[in-house]
A and B are shown apart, each in its own frame.
Chain A
Amino acid sequence: MNDNDIIELFFQRNQDGLLEAQRKYGAYCQSVARNILGSEEDSQECLNDLWLRAWNAIPPQRPKLLKAWFAKVIRNLAINRREAAAAQKRQADQFALSLEELDGCIPDPRTTEERTYVRELSGALNAFLETEQPLDRKIFVSRYFYCESTARTAEKLGLTEGQVKVRLHRCRERLRNYLRSREYYM
């Protein structure tokens, strides 16, 4: 079943669409979460959250590239879960805990600023990747979006791990120069 058919089933509120999405992209999405969380159990829970999120979001959303849409959503869920786990660890720290208690009732001045910053940085990354060779772009996205090890990326692309590391290093150098030239440098 192709992606448009799956989306159509979602629009019809037919649960076969969900089952088909799970069958087609379940393992892929779980590997995205696993690379971020490092835990089978957490990534499975993340996957369950993904299907619920997808069911609620489609419709009205109609993803153009369903696979990438799933990857983005589960990546976000995994990052949030990671942050929640880190916050839980801080529970034992009375200083951090006292700040977090206050944090909940004081407006966050950074939220808007951060959103703008993230959006601009994202745009700059996309513009930079457009200037890169397809192979370097794949290596960059495999490492920093999918959080894959260099060994796994090398295996996937038929390169040696050394070649991947060298290309990544040069790519980061080019990115640094690119961002610096556009005053995005952090």
Chain B
Amino acid sequence: MDKQRAIAKAVTGLDSGYIEEADQPEVQKKKRPMWKPVLSAAACVLLVLGLSLFRPAPLKVTVNGQNVLRGTVSYSLDADVQVMRLSLETEIPLTLDPGSKGSLTLTADENSTLLLDGQETRALTLTEKTTCTWVLLPGADGYFLQLQQGKEDWCIQAVPEDTGIITICQVR
């Protein structure tokens, strides 16, 4: 018996309800990047604030639930793509261990929570009174969160999930 032919015929006999169900598009789509328009809106508000005050917009930021010393956000166009840069100055040690989770909360909007779930074998430690820069870059498959500390430059791919949380899936 031709196995592939039998499989093809058997699949043709699938329940009509399933066939119609599969052709209903975009049921999940609305759930995807809920935070994206929120961030865009927040970007506009903060940009206006920043321009009007001629200094980076002040932003209350918590990392792993703790306040950081200072946080500033700025926006720019890099190759026609709007990029949000968030600079944090922290006096608490911030460690991203493999598999650990950290959260970066922008109080501009409660929904803008980033969950960090590092899977790299190395750990990135932001030591006391170190300034690091977080850069959120839109990409084809999701977002790239770039962290800079001193001469080190980390780029992390982030994939938006249904909840509006982005989960870090790759460190490179």
Binding site for B on A (CB under 8 A): 28, 63-65, 67-69, 71-72, 75-76, 79, 83, 110, 113-114, 117-119, 121-122, 125-126, 129, 134-135, 137-138, 140-142, 144-146, 156-163, 186
A159 and B141 CA atoms in complex are apart in Å by 10
Name the distance in Å between B91's Cβ and chain A's nearest Cβ: 37
- Determine whether B172 belongs to the interface, using a CB cutoff of 8 Å to chain A: no
A158 touches B10 (CB 8 A): no
Considering the complex, give the chain B residue whose CB is closest to the CB of A135. Answer: B28
Considering the complex, give the chain A residue whose CB is closest to the CB of B17. Answer: A65
Q: Which residues of A contact B79 (CB under 8 A)?
A: none
- Give B12-33 as 1s and 0s: 1 = Cβ < 8 Å from A's Cβ atoms: 1111111111111111111110
Considering the complex, give the chain B residue whose CB is closest to the CB of A65. Answer: B16
The interface residues of chain B, by DSSP majority, are classed as: helix
Name the distance in Å between B159's Cβ and chain A's nearest Cβ: 6
Q: A110-B1, A144-B11, A160-B142 are in contact. Are A118 and B6 (CB under 8 A)?
A: yes
Binding site for A on B (CB under 8 A): 1, 3, 5-32, 141-142, 159
Q: Which residues of A contact B12 (CB under 8 A)?
A: 72, 75-76, 79, 122, 145
Q: Which one of B1, B5, B15, B26 lies within 8 Å of A126 (CB-CB)?
A: B15
A169 and B13 CA atoms in complex are apart in Å by 22
Q: Which residues of B contact A160 (CB under 8 A)?
A: 141-142, 159
B14 touches A122 (CB 8 A): yes
A68 touches B16 (CB 8 A): yes
Name the distance in Å between A28's Cβ and chain B's nearest Cβ: 7
A151 and B106 CA atoms in complex are apart in Å by 33
A156 touches B26 (CB 8 A): yes
28 residue pairs bridging A and B, Cβ less than 8 Å apart:
A63-B16, A64-B16, A65-B20, A68-B17, A68-B20, A69-B16, A72-B12, A76-B9, A114-B6, A118-B10, A121-B7, A121-B10, A122-B10, A122-B14, A125-B10, A125-B13, A129-B14, A134-B21, A135-B27, A137-B22, A138-B21, A145-B11, A145-B12, A145-B14, A157-B25, A157-B28, A158-B26, A186-B3
